[in-house]
Amino acid sequence: MTPAERSKHPSKPPFPTPAGEHWIEALDNGAHVLIRPLQPKDRQREKAFIERLSPESRHFRFLCQIREAGKAMLDQLMQVDQDRQAAFVALAHVDGELQEVGISRYAAAVGNDTCECAVTVLDSWQHLGLGRLLLRHLIDHAKAKGLRQMYSIDSAANQPMRDLAKAAGFTTTVDQDDLSQVIHRLNLS
């Protein structure tokens, strides 16, 4: 595409359009990401994503320090049915490669209308509105599946998650079982 053609199509994102449910979203800086349900073919992307997170971001996501995602962890993270366990991945072209730059997920207990959620954004993609977009898709999906409440257990030191939760309407309380953690809750009904 020539520069003149690009100027006629400035918002055209550089992604192949996948079949099925997906969204091409603009971030606050004008960059575009592809957001779609996590698929089995994303396993290596998920592993690489976790490994690219800073130690602090990995700690905030898993509430413990991990160096890499082992087979058992990846098996668990990849178990999504888009009903009781859902995940949405954000993909972007980075250095000529389509990479995972963020993910949101929830897991609902059997026989329960409550789900636990998590949102993780690669450090270099934070503060661009990606977490907000991923959380919005996750909330909309959980509502459509009939879930009535979403919650997240996070480190009290995770200020970006506190800010995201507050902006999305979650209430936050200190976890009485572990004062170093907080619980964010959102009624979906």
Mean pLDDT, contiguous 10-residue spans, the chain (189 residues) = 34 48 94 96 94 85 71 88 94 93 94 93 96 97 96 92 95 94 95
CA distances from 86 to 58, 78, 137, 171 (A): 20, 10, 10, 22
Backbone angles phi, psi at 93, to 5 degrees: -80, 120
Percentage of the residues of the chain whose pLDDT score is greater than 90: 70
Distance separating alpha carbons of residues 100 and 128, to the nearest angstrom: 15
pLDDT score at 111: 84
Tokens standing for residue 90: 């954000």
* pLDDT for the residue numbered 19: 53
**Backbone dihedral angles phi then psi of residue 188, each to the nearest 5 degrees:** -100, -10
Q: Are 132 and 138 in contact (CB under 8 A)?
A: no
Contact 137, 104 (CB under 8 A): yes
Task: Give the phi and the psi of residue 16 in degrees, each rounded to 5.
Answer: -70, 145
Locate all alpha helices (DSSP H) within the chain, ordered by sequence. 3-8, 43-52, 55-62, 71-77, 130-144, 159-167
The domain segmentation of the chain, as residue ranges, is: 21-187
Token duo for residue 161: 């998650």
**Domain 21-187 part of CATH 3.40.50.10890:** no
Q: What is the pLDDT of residue 20?
A: 67
pLDDT of amino acid 65: 65
Q: Which two tokens stand for residue 68?
A: 């890499």
- The residues, ordered by sequence, that sit 6+ positions from 108 with a Cβ below 8 Å of its Cβ are 84, 85, 114, 115, 116, 145, 147
Sheet holding 181-187, edge to edge: 23-26, 32-37, 85-94, 97-108, 114-121, 149-155, 181-187, 171-174
